[in-house]
Amino acid sequence: MAEEKPKKKSFDYKLLSHADKLQMVLEQLLGLEETMFMHNINMLDKDHSEYNAWLATRKEIEIEIMRLRTIFEKLGGNWELVQNEQEVNEYGEPI
């Protein structure tokens, strides 16, 4: 019979709720998407001497975005709810 490996103990968060964790991942994603947008605004021509470095940085940012998207989804995050959020004023009324 194969021996079962003991399960790793996970850290027990006492103050962070599940919603807090999702929000933190979304905030990191927002920052990375802003970084990607600004990086793409400064796109270099393929003949530019720094193009390969620019492209490598773009790929690094994209990999990190995809990693965080995966984490968000594994935490049960719902893209439809995020994309359908409506802006509200201080009274919770739609703007």
Dihedral angle over CA of 49, 52, 56, 59, nearest 10: 120
DSSP state of 5: P
Residue 86 pLDDT class (50, 70, 90 cuts) = low
| Arithmetic mean of pLDDT over the chain | 86
User: In the chain, where are the structural domains located?
Assistant: 18-76
**Predicted TM-score (pTM) of this structure:** 0.73
Cα–Cα nearest to 34, from 64, 78, 76: 64
